[in-house]
Homo-oligomer: A and B are copies of this chain.
């Protein structure tokens, strides 16, 4: 670690969002990619959104005592993985969504074949960005980032969660002989993998950028924070589908329910889902207690995630 800076140097969330936006756009517009490919990649990866994952990488680095600028390649890579998963998720052969963030989905603009390839390209490129010799990160940090991100993105992480989510869709989970217990287990599996694995990786990659090592207590705590925040985020997403303001969320109300998707709301109802999100946020915040004031940006972010459904 070259230099320690306190969290007081960390820009605000809106500023972080803009920083991530700019870094992602700069990374994707490479001159040696076929134009239509990077246009399609940029359409989704560059289209903003909340940048929760990328901002978490930077904030977590600062909270762990590092210079957040050092974590920028990891922030970009995590956002590229997120963007690829959105493109593939929206494809006609998956969720068949026509709109995302109030705009036509990638395949509606570029066609499903180009959208598929743009997703594939974004995933490979995420790893390329992490190991780019020009990004200034020491080799051992680049390697630790690849370990973290490949595990979170792969069959034991994000894709595994999506697979189970797909398998239990269309109401099939309701016919399970074992009933609610099995459904609850699957629901937890899906949320912990599909959404929380990448958010956990984002937080840990920020910690790694600050120079933390596998054996460090703070890295373990950041991992717990990320996993619980990710769970809370997915539950509040389920809640927004049911109780959210479609103007604010850009989502059609009750769409998941009509599709028979297995969600916290579908399985437990709104009040229990709200309590589950609250508990997950508590667990996230509790994990950071020993950090005291230093952990404040992440503690407050968890509160904001919860506030989405109020």
Contacts and interface: CB of A to CB of B under 8 A. Distances in A.
A143 B139 contact: yes
Contact of A93 (B84, B116, B127, B158): B116
A32 B84 CA distance: 23
Interface stretch (A15-23, A36-44, A266-274, A290-298): A36-44
Interface string A142-157: 1100110011011111
A88 B146 contact: no
Contacts of A246: none
Describe A's contact surface by its main secondary structure. Answer: helix
Q: How many copies does the complex hold?
A: 2
A127 B146 contact: yes
Contacts of A32: 156, 160
A120 B157 CA distance: 12
Nearest to A124: B154
A198 to B, nearest CB: 11
Interface of A: 30, 32-34, 36-38, 41, 84-85, 88, 91-94, 112-114, 116-117, 119-121, 123-125, 127-128, 130-131, 133, 139-140, 142-143, 146-147, 150-151, 153-160, 162-164, 166-167
